[in-house]
Chain A
Amino acid sequence: QVQLVQSGAEVKKPGASVKVTCKASGYTFISYDINWVRQAPGQRLEWMGWINAGNGNTKYSQKFQGRVTFTRDTSTSTAYMELSSLRSEDTAVYFCAREALVYWGQGTLVTVSS
């Protein structure tokens, strides 16, 4: 069965970076994009972008352009989301989701606090 398992919760100081992992199993990793979506407390879901797991091409939401980097490791079927220059407004649960948002990871809480 398709599974996306994310790394654990993180606490970071303002200005730092965070890297969230998303390990895929149960399907051919390189055949599907991985999307990243975040949800700040009490807020709506916010799409951050996607990475083509096959060729590594990326599409970022303009809001995060320059601060976010998606990468992947096809040898371990793992996708990564790195967000830099963190601020308090980046406190959120970050989700990875397979193409078409049918399958989701469990979410990773990132807390940004001094």
Chain B
Amino acid sequence: DIVMTQSPDSLAVSLGERATINCKSSQNILDRSNNKNYLAWFQQKLGQPPKLLIYWASARESGVPDRFSGSGSGTDFTLTISSLQAGDVAVYYCHQFYSTPYTFGQGTKVEIK
């Protein structure tokens, strides 16, 4: 199984400041035949299902604010919230859909400092 490891486990950021979450996969999740990284990012607020933010490592899902961005390739990925808003308080998960069983990171809790 591909293990997804996020860092840090939690993060406190001031309103308007940048938040950066890292995700490392235990195996390469870049398909060189189509040059796509099979990596997605989700946001989960308390008591709600996860919400897809980013897919293919850097493509923003429709309706997601442009302060959310994803980057990285191969085994190392980053989710950046450029200017943290109060409504961004949540747990964020990375997810690989390169090979089954699909797996998720352990989550990073983002709070307001």
Contacts and interface: CB of A to CB of B under 8 A. Distances in A.
A106 B49 CA distance: 6
Nearest to B104: A45
B101 A101 contact: no
Contacts of B95: 45, 101
Nearest to A59: B100
Contacts of A106: 49
Contacts, number: 41
B105 A101 contact: no
A102 B95 CA distance: 13
Contacts of B103: 47
A18 to B, nearest CB: 19
A95 B105 contact: no
B93 interface: yes
Contact of B93 (A44, A62, A63, A100): A44
Interface string B45-59: 000011110010000
A45 B50 contact: yes
Most central of A95, A104, A105, A107 by chain B CB within 10 Å: A104
Interface in A45-92: 45-47, 49, 59, 61-63
B106 A101 contact: no
Nearest to A35: B102
A46 B104 contact: yes
Most central of B51, B100, B102, B103 by chain A CB within 10 Å: B102
Given A47-B104, A97-B49, 14 more contacts: A44-B93, A44-B107, A45-B93, A47-B100, A47-B101, A63-B101, A95-B50, A100-B52, A101-B50, A101-B95, A104-B49, A104-B50, A105-B49, A106-B49
Interface of A: 44-47, 49, 59, 61-63, 95, 97, 100-102, 104-107
List 10 A-B pairs, minimum CB-CB distance, nearest first.
A104-B49, A61-B101, A47-B102, A45-B104, A44-B106, A44-B104, A102-B52, A95-B49, A47-B101, A107-B49
Interface of B: 40, 42, 49-52, 55, 61, 93, 95, 100-107
